[in-house]
Amino acid sequence: MSAGPAQPPCWREQAAIVAALAGLSALAHFNRTSMSVAGNLLIEAETLSQQQMGLVYSTLLVVYTLCMTPGGWLTDLIGGRRTIALVGLGSAVLCVATGGAGWWSPSAAVLFASLLVVRAVFGAFNAPFYPAAGKVVSQWVPLEHRALANALITAAFPVGVALAYPLFGGLCGLFGWQAAFLVAGVATAAAAAAWLRVGQDEPPAVRPASPLVRAALHQAASEAEKRQVNWRGLVRNRSLWLLAVSYSTVGYVEYLLIYWLERYLKQVMHYSTTQSRVAAMIPMLCMAACMPLGGWMSDRLMPALGYRRARAAVALLGMCGCAGCLFASTFALSAGYSVAAFAAALAAIGVAEAPAWATAVDLGGKDGATSAAVVNTGGNGGGVISPSLSPWLVGVLQPLVGEAAGWAWALRLGSLVCLLGGLLWLWIDASERAPASG
């Protein structure tokens, strides 16, 4: 069956796939953040120490980072549909296992060891998700709408983080943290089943809507016939490594605020526990709202600026804006001003997410999931550093300048890191292994 030239490119199927991926994205980070909610209860009950829970959190991130590139390779080997189903079903089982560790551990020592193992495996199972999602998007969505589609999927993650505090906390209050993980596991399994229903690796032919993109995709197909993208090609791709380093600074800032914003608002801005939790949600939701904006801007600017400049301009604008707002937050005269500055910082860095992910996939050609995994490895590498480096810096400076000033310098360091990462986009060529637009 052949479609006429005026037929739209299967937009219903595209929308269903993007929606399913967004739901899984939100659940992935909901399940990740839920451990910190349960961890606070374990710390308050003096079952585990703050240092032990910190190791549990870091173990997931370290394993997640180490498994990112192998996960991208797995996606290129078996396809995005199977990989994402494996991520979803495995995460559901491991959510249940996390709660089971609380039920079945006879002592605090056994509980600690069990959580280390279960959350490490959880990190390994979650690692391929975003590279696989990026590959599926590249297969289903035309180039001129791809950044927006990636943005919608990525935007779901801060929503999941924001909702984990009240929703998972409410489940813990009703049923206990162990049973709350059981409920989360059932929800994750349902989302994985929904993905198996709608997800496909082989879409119908997608007709680009403009001559510019049609010509670009034709050029990419011609180049793909001449060569095979392999590890040697990825290693020699200068823009891919620059993007990985740049994205590591994005991860540094995002994880800094994800893990420490609530404590900063409570300890430095003197919010109550309830106020700090609600206030910490606001910047996350602002980041979620602005991620699609970054994708839309990047796509819309492509005809005017060209492929390379459109991606770089939006990413550079977002990261430099985040650096400025994060620096401004350290001069806050009130808690409300501080929250507004953090919200603006995360909103700005949210704008940079979509062009980064779209470029990461496109730089890899046929091995787009692997190249996205390399970039996301950089992002999580930066994310691993900031949650431990920031409180260490505060501890070093606190005897000299006080806790509030110590946190101010930790935030200023994050601002500088973000600025340097943004400037790298001046040398990143999004068309190096992707369609060039003119």
SS3 73: helix
Residues 6+ apart with CB under 8 A from 1: none
Whole-angstrom CA distances from 372 to 61, 243, 254, 367, 377 are: 17, 10, 18, 9, 8
So what's the pLDDT on residue 221? 46
Q: Read off the pLDDT of residues 290-299 as tens digits, 9 standing for 90 and up.
A: 888 887 888 8
Long-range CB contacts (within 8 A, 24+) of 18-22: 18/137, 18/141, 18/149, 18/152, 18/153, 20/191, 20/194, 20/195, 20/198, 20/199, 21/84, 21/133, 21/136, 21/137, 21/153, 21/195, 22/152, 22/153, 22/155, 22/156
- Between CA 76 and CA 369 the distance in angstroms is 6
DSSP string, 178-204: HHHHHHHHHHHHHHHHHHHHH--SSPP
Structure letter (DSSP) for residue 228: -
Burial of residue 95, with CB atoms counted within 10 A of its CB: 0-12 exposed, 13-18 middle, 19 or more buried:
buried
Longest dimension (CA), the chain: 74
Q: Is 142 left (phi over 0), alpha (psi -120 to 50) or beta?
A: beta
- Between CA 87 and CA 168 the distance in angstroms is 21
So what's the pLDDT on residue 226? 42
So what's the pLDDT on residue 205? 52
The answer to whether residues 151 and 354 touch, using CB atoms and an 8 Å cutoff, is yes
Residues of the chain with pLDDT under 70: 1-11, 50, 143-144, 147, 199-233, 369, 433-438
So what's the pLDDT on residue 3? 43
Structure letter (DSSP) for residue 338: H
- Between CA 192 and CA 223 the distance in angstroms is 35
Domains, the chain, ranges and CATH? 11-201 (1.20.1250.20), 212-438 (1.20.1250.20)
Rg (alpha carbons) of the chain, rounded to whole number: 21
Which ranges of 79-142 does DSSP label H, i.e. alpha helix? 80-104, 108-126, 129-140
So what's the pLDDT on residue 151? 74
Q: How far apart are the first and last CA of the chain?
A: 34
Q: For the CA atoms of 382, 258, 182, 100, what is the dihedral angle to 10 degrees?
A: 60
Q: Is the pTM of this model over 0.85?
A: no
